[in-house]
Amino acid sequence: MVTGLKTAIANKPARRTIDAGLTAADRINIKIERHALLLRGAPIASTISIINALITLAVAWGRIDRVVIGVWAAAVMLLSMVRLLMWRRFAKSQVAGHALLKFTRMHVAAMAVNGALWGSLAPIFAVSGMMSNAYLPFIIAGMTAAAIASAGASWKSVLAFNVPALSAAAVSYGLFAEHDGLLIAAVIVLYGVATTYLAFTTQQMIVRSIRLRSRNDHLLAALTKQVDAAHEGEQRYRALVESSSDVTLIFSPEGKITYASPAAEAAFGAPPKNLLGLSTKDVVHPDDFDQFRAVGGKALSTLGEVIPLRHVCMRAPGRPYANLAGRLTNMLYVPGVEGFVFSGGRVEEDACRHLPAAE
């Protein structure tokens, strides 16, 4: 069992990386798209910050010095408005790659200032004797979670908010909390580590998703090109066949005629549509049927190989047999054909004249 396990591990195929097949330009576009995601999420973070500042103002009003909490709320909302204006400016200008990078740098700086403002709420609560109020840890945790949700495309942006916000909260609880302050501070630090890791993995997941989509776009483009080429080849083949004087018949794997070229009318004396749906037994004379089937068996075992048919008597319903010579080719796996292709012409000597019509 151990030997078998070692063999399986040794024969394990190499894991293909997502970056396989991506050019340097693709990687730049992936980075730009990640920054574009950050731009799209910016108004959500600003709006959440305004709403939570108003809720905090309502909760703390009358319990904390009104000037202090009023100035704090005004600063948070002013910063949020500046961030919204900044987002609006970049979003309406159809920004290019370098402008997105500039927005990201400005956004990270704004997130850091916003984190410092929300972190300052902890010492404000501490000075006012409200460290035991459950609202403070609740709002700080909510804001850090909102930062991950809105700025997950850039873990540095999340880190810029979380570090000042959670650091101030941990220090405030460690210094001013009446009971279990150090324990609460340790929990906040662990929460900060966990949210930082979550932000990093979120960014990695977003990058992986963008890379997969980019790679799938390449595969789809290549597949579309192949389908178009196959369709073009099929159209070219059909045009050549329909303009040829040779008779072309396509037999399905079940032996039914699925296509008859225009030249069939001159060979059989009947419109090509009259041949569609007929079986091999319907068109091939019984004396030649075994030969035709044997050649078909060879074609089945040799994909794409041309098997010559020196003589075969065929006819359309109600018409005399015609002596044909040609070739049979296995094209079962060729898109647009998917059958056995007989191609040939009428032979001058009428070897089928002596054959009775088999009704």
pLDDT of residue 137: 84
Distance CA 238, CA 261 (A): 9
Confidence class for position 302, pLDDT limits 50, 70, 90: low
Indicate the length of the chain as a whole number.
Answer: 359
pLDDT of residue 298: 66
Q: Which residue has the higher pLDDT, 57 or 355?
A: 57
Statement: residue 5 has pLDDT above 50? no
Q: What's the average model confidence in pLDDT over 247-258?
A: 88
Query: What Cα–Cα distance (Å) separates residue 67 from each residue in 25, 70, 132, 173?
Result: 53, 5, 22, 23
What average pLDDT score do residues 232-260 get? 76
Over residues 286-308, the mean pLDDT reads 73
Task: Tell me which of 28 and 83 has the higher pLDDT.
Answer: 83
288 strand-pairing partners:
none
Q: For residues 82 and 76, what is the distance between their CA atoms, to the nearest angstrom?
A: 10
Choose among 136, 195, 207, 161: nearest CA to 42: 161
The pLDDT, as a whole number, for residue 217 is 73
Percent of the chain with pLDDT over 70: 81
Average pLDDT over residues 278-286: 88
pLDDT on residue 94: 59
Q: Dihedral of CA 196/199/205/206: which sign?
A: negative
Is the pLDDT assigned to residue 18 strictly greater than 60?
no
How many other C-beta atoms can be found within 10 angstroms of the C-beta atom of residue 328? 23
Q: For residue range 163-189, list pLDDT tens digits in order.
A: 999 998 889 888 887 778 888 889 889
Residue 21: pLDDT band with limits 50, 70, 90? low
Pairwise pLDDT comparison (302 vs 6), residue with the higher score: 302
Which pLDDT does position 210 carry in this prediction?
75
Residue 2 in this model has a pLDDT that exceeds 80: no
Q: Give the residue with greater pLDDT, 299 vs 309.
A: 309
- pLDDT for 4: 45
* Cβ–Cβ under 8 Å, residues 335 and 228: no
Contact 351, 311 (CB under 8 A): yes
Strands 257-260 and 247-251: antiparallel
| 329 confidence band (pLDDT: 50, 70, 90) | confident
Residue 57's pLDDT is: 92
Write down the pLDDT at residue 19: 52
Q: What is the pLDDT of residue 154?
A: 80
| Mean pLDDT along residues 40-62 | 89
H-state helical runs in the chain: 2-10, 24-60, 66-92, 97-119, 121-127, 135-151, 155-176, 181-243, 263-268, 280-283, 286-301
Tens digits of residue pLDDT in 343-356: 888 887 666 755 55
What are the domain boundaries of the chain? 22-219, 244-346
Q: What is the pLDDT of residues 66-122, one digit of tens each?
A: 999 999 999 999 999 999 998 888 877 655 667 778 888 888 899 899 999 999 998
Residue 227's CB is within 10 A of a number of other CB atoms, namely: 11
In whole angstroms, what is the distance from residue 99 CA to residue 35 CA? 10
pLDDT of amino acid 76: 93
Task: Report the C-alpha gap between 218 and 30 in whole angstroms.
Answer: 13
pLDDT of residue 8: 46
Asked if the 244-346 domain carries CATH number 3.30.450.20, the reply is yes
Contact 142, 52 (CB under 8 A): yes
Rounded-to-integer distance, Cα 150 and Cα 158, Å: 9
Specify the higher pLDDT residue, 18 or 309. 309
pLDDT value at 234 more than 70? no
DSSP 134: T
